[in-house]
Every structure is written in C-alpha cells, then in structure tokens.
Amino acid sequence: MLTEPLSALTARTLQNCGASAALDVAGGMAVRSPVTGETVATLAPHTAAGAGAAIDTAVAAFKTWRLVPAPRRGELVRLFGEELRRARQDLGRMVSIEAGKSPSEGLGEVQEMIDICDFAVGLSRQLYGLTIATERPGHRMMETWHPLGVVGIISAFNFPCAPWCWNAALALVCGDPVLWKPSEKTPLTALAVQAVFDRAVARFGDAPEGLSQVLIGGPDLGEALTDSTSVALVSATGSTRMGRIVGPKVAARFGRCILELGGNNAGIVCPSADMDMALRAIAFGAMGTAGQRCTTMRRLFVHESVYDRLVPALVTAYGSVSVGNPLSSGALVGPLIDKAAFVGMGAALDDAKALGGTVHGGARQPVEGDAAYYVKPALVEMPEQAGPVLRETFAPILYVMKYSDFDAVLDAHNAVGGGLSSSIFTTDLREMETFLSARGSDCGIANVNIGTSGAEIGGAFGGEKETGGGRESGSDAWRAYMRRATNTINYSRELPLAQGVSFDI
C-alpha cells in the first residue's frame, strides 16, 4: 500500500536525486503517471529559443571536452556510475512511477545504466585505431579516432533512462557533449538522472558547463536537434513512424543518425525444445513490461508436434499472471502507458478476431480506477500471419501460429517490417545454427533458448529493416560517436606515389 499521494512520492523521489525543477508550474506541461492516471507534476517546457541556447552551450562544451584525454573523460563516467549506484532505489522508483514498471524492472533499468557506465570507463582506454600496412616504403599508415561533436539523444517512454545512458556514457568518453530530449511522457526520470549526473560533475571538478543537458517538451525540441547542423549525431529511440521523420531530416543535412525503432520480434519453438524453459522465457518476453519493450516477443511459431503441449500451458500462464499497481502490489504486469495504448490494443485484438484469431485474455482490469489502463496480457491463436500480426502494437499481445516446415517458418519469421530481436527454442544443433546463419533470422539480435527481450549492454543493440539499422551500447558501437581520420606519414627522403603513379616535375 502507498502511504502518501503519488505526487508527494514523486516530489520526494526527485528531491532525493537532487533535482530541483519546479513541479507545479501553472499552465505547464502535465506529467501523468500510468500507475493511477493522475497528474504528478506540471513542468515548464523549454522553448525553441531555449533549445537553441542549449545547443550553443553544448557546442562550447565540445571545444573543451574534446581536448580532455579520454581516460580522464572516463573518470567522469566512473563517478557517474558511482552516483547512479547511490541513487539506484530512487531512480528505479522514478521509472516505476513514470513508466509503470515493476520495482524489479525499474531497478533493472538503472542497473543497465550502471553497467554501461562500467563498460564506457574501460572503453575510455580502448578507443583503438588500426595501424595499416602501406604499399610505400618509408611510410606509415594509421587511423585515429577523434571526438565527433554534440550528440542529440531522443528517448522513448518505455525505457525512460537506460537507452539515454547507452548513448551518453559512450558519447562522453568519446569526447562528445549530450543533449537529451526525453519522451514528453517521462520527463521526470530525465530530470532525476540529470541531477545525479550533476553530482558526478561536481565531484569531477573541471568539466565544461553543459556537458549533459535535458530539453523538456514536445516534438519541436526533437526537431531543433534534427535540424541543427551543430548537432553532429542524432540518436533516436522510438517508433518507426518517428524514425521516418528523424532519419530523412538528419540525412538531408548530412548529419549522422542512430535509429533504434520498432520491432516485431518472434520466437520459434521447435520439437526438441525444453518446453518448461521455453514457457518461462516466452512469458517474460511477451508479458514483461506489459508488452511495452521494443524487444517484446510479439509473434510465436510453434511446431505442430508440440503445439498442444505448449500453447495450453501458455494460456494457463496468461490467465494466472498478476496484474496490478507496480508500486504497491508486487504484480508482474503493470499498466499500459495511457488510453491510446489501450485503444490500440483493443483495435489489434478486433482485427485479429476478424481474421479468425482466438483471443485468450486481453480484458481491462479494474485496477486504480478509470484513469489508469491495466489489462490482462492477450495470447491470440492465429490461423496465419496476417493483419495485425504484421505490425507492432505496443501492448502485451502475443500472436501464436502453428508451423510444420522449418524452412517455411524461417521465411515467415523474416516476413515482417521490423528486424530487431528473435529467438529459437531448440536443442537441435542444425536448427540452431541455421537460425543464426545467413539463411536464418534477419534481426540485429538472434537468441537461442532465451527470449527476445532483456539484452545485456555488452552486445551491440539495434536491428535491421524498419528497426532503423542503428547500433547502440556495447561491442564497437562507440565508433558511431567518433570521427575516423586515416593518416599517412612519410618518414623517408623520397616521394613515391601510391598505385605506382609517376608525376615527375
């Protein structure tokens, strides 16, 4: 049970993080918690002029920050990781209040930030370039990685802080200031994280002003980032619809873009699968975070020989999963973000029924009254992959289909717009390796015997096709935040030309 009003809990949580923004600005931007549907704050949004000033500050910060040695830049991120550890409980609660996640998932998101900070600290001593064999005697060729410039980060409501941090931690060690435009549905988490970052800056001592700034407001602020030639890289997480706006705008000015957009992620359950494990993995992948992850499992192909074993067990799991207030109930499934999400879910279920789908679950639950939208996750048995199965509906709907032929199911798996995440459940080596091969899953993430969601930060995160093609987080994703220079040095007394060209004057 909550012992204080949600707005008071919100104010206290922000205060604990050190955030000082006014939370009751008359006529300001209302921030609503999906937990109860109530308004927990009204914030003063930034104006377009304010965004311009923030970009100017970031440009000035870049001029200083790019000259600070990378390991020293890493020290700031190390301190930030320490401050995040201290603020873990409050930040996790802020995520739960604003995005409606269970406490465990709220804390998990903060952990993801801490993990990427640790990764980035190590990276600050590993921004390696190659030394390359040259064809000319007395020459040396190498590549050098330099800071790129200001990085604009547009983030979505469903992960209000971790994707920002995948970008920010890397950008900061790479020598780039960051400007953050969070979803207008989750600005408070951004303000809390920024306050925690400011604590790290205070301990660091000599960081330039405005290394990280938050822009609170609507799409006009995102536009300020996409349109400004002073923003070298725009990294945007969100819907494919948003990516279709951001991508061309940034490309038109030859800016760089990292797009991490929607997915329509699927699992395949093969005859040899460990069914208990598959069931648990599918349950988390499809119902976790109330189906509001970009990595949520949305389609499931089950081999005909195990369909009657697995699917009834899944239907039972769907029926018994707990749905409730994430701050007071210990439920596994929290609310949808808002009414529009609920309406979208209903429309998708109606479309599925019209195409012969059998819907299990999906009903609205009487939790926290009319202004909050809690639903039982829906499992929909579909005769074929058509209609709503082909699109991403940001809600807990899992479309289940029967398959008989492995080759055909691989084609069906790839026959959607999204290309983010995928899983196969099998103990058959041939199936597993084929799924991971060039003929298999066409997604940026392809897993075996785990679900589609819950990726670790160490791997590159992102996907193909309508997912946008960008990669964030681990592996060599850092390269997108730097510019590469190829350097050729002649230490001889001759001037041989490449390709044997002669030009004697």
Determine the distance from the C-alpha atom of residue 478 to the mean position of all C-alpha atoms in its chain, rounded to a whole number: 16
Catalytic, out of 260, 381, 466, 472:
260
**CB of 36 closer than 8 Å to CB of 368:** yes
Concatenate the DSSP letters of all residues of 255-273 into one string.
Answer: -EEEEE----EEEEE-TTS
- Taking the least distance from each CB to ligand UN1, the nearer of 112 and 176 is 112
- Taking the least distance from each CB to ligand UN1, the nearer of 19 and 480 is 480
Comparing CA positions, the residue from 422, 425, 401, 436 lying closest to residue 464 is 422
Report in angstroms how near the CB of residue 236 gets to ligand UN1 at its nearest. 11
Report in angstroms how near the CB of residue 457 gets to ligand UN1 at its nearest. 7
Q: Is 246 helix (H, G, I), strand (E, B) or coil?
A: helix
Report in angstroms how near the CB of residue 235 gets to ligand UN1 at its nearest. 12
Return the bridge partners of 400, or none: 300, 381
Concatenate the DSSP letters of all residues of 324-337 into one string.
Answer: --TTTS--SB---S
| Tokens describing residue 30 | 């209302």
Report in angstroms how near the CB of residue 454 gets to ligand UN1 at its nearest. 5
- Match 């007394």 to its residue by tokens: 493
Residues 330, 317: Cα–Cα separation, whole Å: 17
Report in angstroms how near the CB of residue 430 gets to ligand UN1 at its nearest. 27
Helix axes 429-436, 406-414, angle to 10 degrees: 30
| Tokens describing residue 347 | 């429309």
456 catalytic? Reply is no
- Taking the least distance from each CB to ligand UN1, the nearer of 295 and 426 is 295
- Taking the least distance from each CB to ligand UN1, the nearer of 149 and 326 is 326
| Tokens describing residue 71 | 């390991």
- Taking the least distance from each CB to ligand UN1, the nearer of 42 and 111 is 111
Point out which residues bind ligand UN1 (CB under 6 A).
Answer: 112, 158-159, 163, 237, 293-295, 453-455
Comparing CA positions, the residue from 448, 469, 449, 444 lying closest to residue 459 is 444
Active site residues per annotation: 260
